[in-house]
Structure 1
Amino acid sequence: MGDSFHDQLIEDSAFLRADRRLDTDLVDKIILQLNRIYPQILSDKEATRFRNLDVPTSVRVGELLTHLQRKGEEACREFYRALHLHVEEVYYSLPTRLRLRDSLDPLAHPRAYQQRYVMNDRGPFFFLGCFGVAVGMALLYYYGEARVTGGSRALGMAALGLKKKAREVLIWYTEM
């Protein structure tokens, strides 16, 4: 990944403080998970302080993030794990997640793939010209054959895979 979880949390802190999707209930779930599963990261006393409803949620999130950054790499990783578990849409919209996703997505940065497969560089009019010549030659061949034989052998061959009525019509046409 390159960045440590601590560095990522520093970068994501401003986004997390401003994101309105982190409401009181979600912040409480994250705090409780960190407190119950990892009491060495968030003690009961600290969890109670961060769950104080008299303090606005954005302030509590900011204090929690500062606390986790002071605790170190393991605390930051567990915060990301709890965020991913409880609020996936916020987790996947974090600036560090978006940067990581874009760096792994080949469609987001096509310049990383220098090799392009170009059939020609003459443009669409060249293609249309070639297509017109091919259609003209096919029509000349088809109508030239129709005058000589009185019908098309290709239509007779095409009748082989069709149902009875269609086969009869095509065979009748080729016999004319």
Structure 2
Amino acid sequence: MGDSFHDQLIEDSAFLKAERRLDTELVDKLILQLNRIYPQILTDKEATKFRNLDVPTSVRLGELLTHLQAKGEEACREFYRALHLHVEDVYYSLPTRLRLRDLLDPLTLPRVYKQKHVLNDRGPLFFVGCFSLAVGMALLYYYSEAKVSGSSRALGMAALGLKRKAQEVLIWYTEEDLMK
């Protein structure tokens, strides 16, 4: 990968020509930006040529990119500046920008150390279900020792958030406790 804007524009040209988000209006904005602010890069005559609506937008854009590459580094840099200003989402989608972002992102550099530790692949609901069962069993064990009538109410309340089978067991145990 070259570091110059010229090299980057050569690499990004195919992407830009195929990019559907660069419609006629946006290409005209880019041409006008280059023409008005940098007439040494794009003269009035050249701007008129590249804004000809009789020529398809992708062809005009391709000719503009070729023209800018021929003008040199400064012209390519100003094109990127105009693209960033007017069509930021396309600018950040460019292949050279994506690669640059990946190179500068510290989280993507140590790919060897970036591992996913999976204890199980059943998901959070499985964990919540197992945890609920363990809590229910702990409550059942804890309150089975106490022969106080309040314990049966606590077990009945504990059964509210559990699955149907566990709920039936706790309610059965509560009813059994009340009969004694």
> Are 1:24 and 2:29 matched, yes or no?
no
Corresponding residue of 2:143: 142
Moved over 4 A (4+): 115-118, 120-124, 127-135
Q: TM-score, normalised by structure 1?
A: 0.63
Q: 2:33 corresponds to which letter in structure 1?
A: Q
Structure 2 residue runs of 5 or longer lacking an equivalent are 155-180
Q: TM-score, normalised by structure 2?
A: 0.62
Query: CA offset at residue 64 of structure 1?
Result: 0.9
Corresponding residue of 2:62: 62
How many aligned residue pairs are there?
146
Which runs of structure 2 are paired with 1:1-176 in the superposition (5 Å)?
3-103=3-103, 104=105, 106=107, 109=108, 112=111, 114=113, 118=117, 135-145=136-146, 147=147, 151=150
Q: 2:113 corresponds to which letter in structure 1?
A: Q
Q: 1:114 corresponds to which letter in structure 2?
A: Y
**Cα distance change of structure 1 residues 88 and 131 upon mapping to structure 2, 3 Å threshold:** same
Query: CA offset at residue 35 of structure 1?
Result: 0.9
Deviations 1:9-31 (A, max 9, x none): 11110111122332222212111
Query: CA offset at residue 65 of structure 1?
Result: 0.6
**Cα distance change of structure 1 residues 52 and 12 upon mapping to structure 2, 3 Å threshold:** same
Distance 2:28 2:134 in 1: 72
Distance 1:61 1:101 in 2: 25
Q: 1:143 corresponds to which letter in structure 2?
A: S
Structure 1 residue runs of 5 or longer lacking an equivalent are 156-176
Query: CA offset at residue 84 of structure 1?
Result: 2.0
